[in-house]
Structure 1
Amino acid sequence: MKKFKKAALAAALMGMALPLGTLSATAEEATNPFFKEWTTPHGLAPFSEIENAHYMPAFERAFAESRADIDAIANNPDAPTFENTIAALDKAGKLLNKVAGVFYNLTGSHTNPEMQEIQATVSGMFSRHTNETLFNKKLFERVDALYQKRDSLGLNAEQARMLWRTHLDFTGAGANLDEAAKAELAKLNEEISGLTTKFGRNVLGATNAFEMVVEDEADLAGLPDFVIAAAASTAEDRGQPGKWMFTATRSSFTPFMTFSTRRDLREKLHKGYMARGEKGSEFDNTEIVKQILQAREKRAKLLGYKNHAEYQMADRMMGHPDRAFELLNRIWEPALERAKEERAALQEMVDAEGGDFELAAWDWWHYAEKVRKARYDLDEQTLKPYFVLDNVLQGAFHTANKLWGLTFKERTDIDTYHPDVRTFEVYEKDGTYLGLYLTDHHARASKRGGAWNNSFRSQKKVDGVETPIVVNVMSFPKGSGDVPALLSADNVGTLFHEFGHAMHTLMSDVTYDRMNSMAWDFVEFPSQIFEGWAWEPDVLRIYAKHYKTGEVIPESMIKRLQAASKFNQGFATVEYVSAALMDMAWHTRSIGDDVDVAAFEKELLDEIGLLDEIVVRYRTTYFNHAFGGAAYAAGYYTYLWSEVLSADAYATFAEEGIFNQEVAARLRHSILEPRGARDPMEMFEEFKGRPYELDAILEARGLTD
């Protein structure tokens, strides 16, 4: 999933930060790396020189300069033009983008308590800066004057969309409100920013705090060697050598739930994972959730919307919450029916083994793996030795080379922010340098869970050509001893997914930085389509090689893998859609002070008929997508919507050849290069040659009759 945090003016302004001004540096500032020209390869940050103490002085200076430059644009005595107003905003922001680009990447991937404290302060600074900019009356008058006569300005397509997007930034943020309403809105924005930061910190704290320590080797029953080795490594890293530790990260949780034959320990780990952020816990998020929801609702109504979901979706492909509910409910019904069939099959397996119990939520992964083994002669223990992390990465590189001729050259001499990070120069088929690609694949305590793509620098041409610097961040377990880092099938899909985001970012070909920002329910489409190549036989033969023997995955196993591709999709779909429906429900219903978060959640999940044996993918108190930031609030549905588009689009490759050069070129030209510079539905229809169809996703997930 892409967790993109635009540097300059947080979510509302994305990309409208301002240029370096003329404020002089003190002698102390002269030692700050952010105030120097970076002469590192490709302009990557000199991470080893950057200390926590450098951030606040850099932010303070950057905000001051940006404020001065905003005023200069707003007070320009010349009549507004596209260049002196819209383009001027876009080509600005060098220092603020420079500082925030580093800081916000590291707060997700390699944070520490001091940085977390800085983040809490800076989030308020960003909110105030955004408000001051979007509420600048003179600046808005210039933007609005251009917008009102947009048809007579002779703008090209990208400039026209740039003007529309900039104008919407202002009107959507309340530029048309009176002064009292603006003051109230500014206060709400700052409050929401602080609350979402606190929520995310609590989730990270709760995740790191939960530890299930195993001291008796007998309690490791059923676990394969790679899981045991990873648990031993985790225990040693956390100061308990000689023991085994399992945590609330997915990379630790899922393997244990899948393989452990100790049902009591599966229950213990499951309950610990699900209890994060609950009421009364050390990292209680319940009151924060209520405060976020109430503040978001107030803001939406102040801006003329019925609720936060309606406000959030005003500039998205879906357009309105009703359409999102329609999509989710359309998928929910067949998925729920398939999940019921799967539940029955798992219970049969329990009974066949003589288990004297009813299937519970902490049993699903374990027995699903057994049923998959029985039906397809496949299980994670059989597959995982073929999925060596380095080889899978090379498989992704191979795919990009076959589609577009790209090559990847590793650099081991470039300074990075953590020893786990690897750096690759990316070149076009003709040898032209395209951009820098970083990988940060392994879980650690300083990194939040999950996987995402981000940029240290975006591509743009408005103020001289700037090539992108992209990073894929994941949470895979490390190897241990003679066993390299091995991936689960789910991990393989994640790597290809995030690599798809990286390809989208690297292939950007826009003039204005603002056009790197897309409709949020379009963002996941290019990454999801790339997942399709992970399981193509011709790609599997490249990367799926046994870590001990080097043997290429057998053809018989590939066939079984293809046959099993739709297995357990009822569970996977229900787990996801229930979270998306819960997100939409929270953001379309009015929340009072007396709401009980746990009771509301249960009432909703009972209302939609979620099976007791399946837990919603993210419970409210650790639902970072919905409450840890702005982008996915009332927007978690976007993964499914993007999959509708990607399944339909990938069918073109399936029909015309998975490495068909003409189709690949069309995908690049119509989808990847324009990013936000064109209407996304028009882009999709140009690639596909027709509007989208829903049948492809139902077929891909095996939810058709």
Structure 2
Amino acid sequence: MTLASELHLVDFATTTPAALSEQVTAALTEAQTFLDALSAAPADTETALADIVDFEQVNLALDRSWGLVSHLNSVMSDKDIREAHHALLPEVAAYGTRVGQHQPLFARYQAVVNDPDFFNALPTDRARAITLAMQSFELSGVALPKDKQAQFAEIQSKLAALSAKFSDNILDATQDYALPLAEDKLAGMTESGRALLAEAGEQHKAKLRESGEMNDADIDALPTPYYVATLNIPSYLAVMTYADDRDLRQALYHAYVTRASEFDTHTNDKGESLNNADSMQEILALREQKAQLLGFDNYAELSLSTKMAERVDEVSDFLTSLATEATPAAKKDLAQISQCAAEHGVTDLQPWDSGYFAEKVKQQAFSLSQEEIRPYFPVSTVIDGLFAIVQRLYGIRVIDATDSASVWHPDVRFYQLLDADDTLVGGFYFDLFARSGKRGGAWMNGFQARYHNQAADYTQLPVCFMVGNFTPAIDGKPSLLTHDEVLTLFHEFGHGLHHLLTQVTVGDVAGVNGVEWDAVELPSQFMENWAWHADGIALISGHIDSGEPLPTDKLDALLAAKNFQSGMQTLRQIEFALFDMRIHAQTPAPDYRGILATLQGVRNEIAIMDTPSDNRFANGFSHIFAGGYAAGYYSYKWAELLSADAFSRFEEEGIFNAVTGKAFRDTVLSVGGSLPAKTNFENFRGRSATIDALLRHSGFDSAEPDTTPTAEVV
């Protein structure tokens, strides 16, 4: 199969850290040269716009090369790519700051905006991109005096380095932990869980051999299978959910929640501590300085200046109101697992017990076990069903083109996305399985946006990377997903569709670009609904041996258990969101002790279960210290309200109603960031969003949780 040149795919076989470093450096030089050549003021408005478009074209090479460095540092991290990433990071950060403070470039945007007739005649996407760029200039310190601009640039550079260090420490702390286990420690573990630990054991042997920590004879003398518990999520959850040994669960819990803290004794390859404490307080202090330079009281205000939510109290009120709705259900959740624990002789329920006894309650109350239904979700069947669902909704087809594409790891698959008339829409990569050297979690990386430049005769179609850390294939058996992993796959594919289905050709507002951060989770959470509906599950399930879809009794049990523990899970998300908002709204910014005190204060207010005093969740909270969610973690719940309300239209009109699907595609997915998210939502729903559907979907709209088996999502 010949792949379209407009995809501009990467040859990963030749994409070495050294080659990428050269590409980034060359792209930076070209972009800097362009900025150097800009005169102080444009000749006229049309020339100003032409310069803006030319600058976008120049930046494509940097976006591409730096995007690849960042991507590979997340999915194939080793010494070489990490060193390349960190060496380039200050230069890239400095360039970004220069762009934001570059007066001649800013003058181009000003010239366009200051000519109302010209500006109002622009296409919607171009006008929106210019409006957002003006906002970005203001938030980059373009109006600051020279000495303050230099201070701003230094802050940006330090923040970039500190975030990278935070992320490195978490990855190293996660990868460095290995706990060998004797056979008698594995009571209660499932067959798939044991296989995961055995696979981790083989990897640990290889690591010992490579490092020279043990000689070959001693390694060969280790038992087979050799079981090792790790902090990679599939392995960690396998132990925490099924291991009967309470001491083992406690040890693993302690290791997980103290990663990169003062309790973590691991060091990096330079012998440096992995403790993130100093980085955390420095990040907060620098963010506060940055906000105040720009005229805000605190970083939370700066963050909200670009979001749907407008004020800190608006977000806090939303979260605390939702907590009030969730608390009665959460208390019932806790009572359920506490009673089960007591029946098994555990009268002092602890966090390392909750997942274990929750699984037992689920099995008792709903006759449902994640392990029982796992064989019904082979990854290939789930993927095929997912593609069938989006074809019915949006008229699109997915073609596996892996054999024609270069990939960065043998597990990676590449697909082309075609429209109903067989027009090529874009391409995407799936990198779904956990492995060493890969950052934890799941994400969509919008590597290449849809873009067209008529003057340069250049077109690129959208391409994205969708990444997970799912249970891999073991012992020659295909990967079998838990339903939670299925939901994660649907979530990330929702992000991918948002990126791929855009019809916008101005890159800055194409796909997910330019979308307010607290609305960007709408398409992803929205997509999860089809993995909770009987008709959707029928398409994504098929037993690994028989091919039979999930049987009615298991389907009914799965759907009945949808809101199981929903109250406690909601409070947990609210706890994280309030903590995030409060540490970023404090003035002065809290030190490490203040960070921990703020988290404990939120727990005292929200949580219904005590947390051990040595829990250092904050030290691993990458979303806010190394990702884009600083003073924005509330976005998950905010967008969940939008997604529940949006899906309620499908509940009213039919979940596979092609007309409704086209409406969602046309009003939300296709327009990307070319219109405000509130406008997009209201164009689809015909009104403002309400919380009713979220409460109903979460099971908070009735006094008693609904456990009646049903084939409908409620």
TM-score of the superposed pair, with normalisation by structure 2? 0.90
Amino acid at match of 1:268: A
Question: What is residue 587 of structure 2 aligned with on the other side?
Answer: 590
1:217 to 178, 183, 203: 183
CA separation of 1:598/1:513 partners in 2, compared to 1, >3 Å: closer, same or farther?
Answer: closer
Note the 1:92-491 alignment, pairs <5 A: 92-153=58-119, 154-214=121-181, 216-239=182-205, 242-279=225-262, 281=264, 282-353=273-344, 355-411=345-401, 412-463=403-454, 464-491=458-485
Q: Does the Cα contact within 8 Å between 1:455 and 1:471 map onto a contact in 2?
A: yes
**Pairwise CA distance, 1:602:** 4.7
Q: Does the Cα contact within 8 Å between 2:7 and 2:462 map onto a contact in 1?
A: no
**Pairwise CA distance, 1:97:** 2.1
CA separation of 1:533/1:593 partners in 2, compared to 1, >3 Å: closer, same or farther?
Answer: closer
- Report the more deviating stretch, 604-613 or 520-529: 604-613
**Pairwise CA distance, 1:543:** 2.0
Amino acid at match of 2:478: P
CA separation of 1:175/1:556 partners in 2, compared to 1, >3 Å: closer, same or farther?
Answer: same
Deviation string 1:299-344 (CA, Å, 9 cap, x unpaired) is 1001000111110110111122222111111111222332221111
Q: Does the Cα contact within 8 Å between 1:521 and 1:642 map onto a contact in 2?
A: yes
Separation in structure 2 between the aligned mates of residue 446 and residue 652 of structure 1, nearest angstrom: 42
Q: Does the Cα contact within 8 Å between 1:504 and 1:526 map onto a contact in 2?
A: yes
Note the 1:544-623 alignment, pairs <5 A: 544-591=541-588, 595-596=592-593, 599-613=596-610, 619-623=617-621
Separation in structure 1 between the aligned mates of residue 612 and residue 634 of structure 2, nearest angstrom: 17
Separation in structure 1 between the aligned mates of residue 612 and residue 570 of structure 2, nearest angstrom: 12
Matched, 1:67 2:32: yes
Amino acid at match of 2:450: Q
Separation in structure 1 between the aligned mates of residue 67 and residue 592 of structure 2, nearest angstrom: 38
**Pairwise CA distance, 1:386:** 0.9
Separation in structure 1 between the aligned mates of residue 559 and residue 670 of structure 2, nearest angstrom: 31
Question: What is residue 19 of structure 1 aligned with on the other side?
Answer: none
CA separation of 1:401/1:614 partners in 2, compared to 1, >3 Å: closer, same or farther?
Answer: farther
Matched, 1:669 2:666: yes
Count residues in correspondence: 665
**Pairwise CA distance, 1:142:** 2.6
- Report the more deviating stretch, 57-66 or 671-680: 57-66
Note the 1:633-648 alignment, pairs <5 A: 633-648=630-645
Question: What is residue 29 of structure 1 aligned with on the other side?
Answer: none
- Structure 1 residues without counterparts, runs of 5 or longer: 1-37
Separation in structure 2 between the aligned mates of residue 245 and residue 658 of structure 1, nearest angstrom: 44
1:56 to 6, 17, 21: 21
- Report the more deviating stretch, 292-301 or 248-257: 248-257
**Pairwise CA distance, 1:77:** 5.3
- Report the more deviating stretch, 138-147 or 494-503: 138-147
CA separation of 1:430/1:611 partners in 2, compared to 1, >3 Å: closer, same or farther?
Answer: same
* Partner SS state of residue 465, structure 1: strand
Give the alignment's Cα RMSD to 1 decimal: 2.0
Q: Does the Cα contact within 8 Å between 2:129 and 2:509 map onto a contact in 1?
A: yes
Deviation string 1:244-296 (CA, Å, 9 cap, x unpaired) is 12222222212211111111111111111000111253310001000000000
- Report the more deviating stretch, 250-259 or 143-152: 143-152
Separation in structure 1 between the aligned mates of residue 597 and residue 114 of structure 2, nearest angstrom: 45
Separation in structure 1 between the aligned mates of residue 685 and residue 80 of structure 2, nearest angstrom: 49
**Pairwise CA distance, 1:548:** 2.4
Amino acid at match of 1:497: H
**Pairwise CA distance, 1:39:** 9.4
Q: Does the Cα contact within 8 Å between 1:325 and 1:581 map onto a contact in 2?
A: yes
Separation in structure 2 between the aligned mates of residue 574 and residue 599 of structure 1, nearest angstrom: 18
Q: Does the Cα contact within 8 Å between 2:260 and 2:620 map onto a contact in 1?
A: yes
- Report the more deviating stretch, 520-529 or 273-282: 273-282
CA separation of 1:614/1:384 partners in 2, compared to 1, >3 Å: closer, same or farther?
Answer: farther
1:680 to 658, 677, 680: 677
Q: Does the Cα contact within 8 Å between 1:40 and 1:46 map onto a contact in 2?
A: no
Matched, 1:502 2:496: yes
2:624 to 621, 626, 638: 626
* Partner SS state of residue 574, structure 2: helix
* Partner SS state of residue 435, structure 1: strand
**Pairwise CA distance, 1:151:** 5.0
- Structure 2 residues without counterparts, runs of 5 or longer: 207-223, 265-272, 703-714
Q: Does the Cα contact within 8 Å between 1:526 and 1:646 map onto a contact in 2?
A: yes
CA separation of 1:230/1:167 partners in 2, compared to 1, >3 Å: closer, same or farther?
Answer: same
* Partner SS state of residue 279, structure 1: coil
CA separation of 1:291/1:397 partners in 2, compared to 1, >3 Å: closer, same or farther?
Answer: same
Amino acid at match of 1:485: S
Q: Does the Cα contact within 8 Å between 2:18 and 2:84 map onto a contact in 1?
A: no
CA separation of 1:640/1:70 partners in 2, compared to 1, >3 Å: closer, same or farther?
Answer: same
Note the 1:529-540 alignment, pairs <5 A: 529-540=526-537
**Pairwise CA distance, 1:75:** 4.8
Amino acid at match of 1:276: R
Amino acid at match of 1:279: E
**Pairwise CA distance, 1:640:** 0.8
**Pairwise CA distance, 1:573:** 0.8
Deviation string 1:628-663 (CA, Å, 9 cap, x unpaired) is 13x211111111111000000001101100111111
Separation in structure 2 between the aligned mates of residue 191 and residue 101 of structure 1, nearest angstrom: 20
Separation in structure 2 between the aligned mates of residue 318 and residue 386 of structure 1, nearest angstrom: 41
Q: Does the Cα contact within 8 Å between 1:575 and 1:615 map onto a contact in 2?
A: no
Amino acid at match of 1:469: V
TM-score of the superposed pair, with normalisation by structure 1? 0.91
Amino acid at match of 2:662: A
CA separation of 1:532/1:149 partners in 2, compared to 1, >3 Å: closer, same or farther?
Answer: same
Q: Does the Cα contact within 8 Å between 1:579 and 1:619 map onto a contact in 2?
A: no
Separation in structure 1 between the aligned mates of residue 590 and residue 485 of structure 2, nearest angstrom: 40
Matched, 1:47 2:47: no
Amino acid at match of 1:169: S
Separation in structure 2 between the aligned mates of residue 696 and residue 106 of structure 1, nearest angstrom: 39
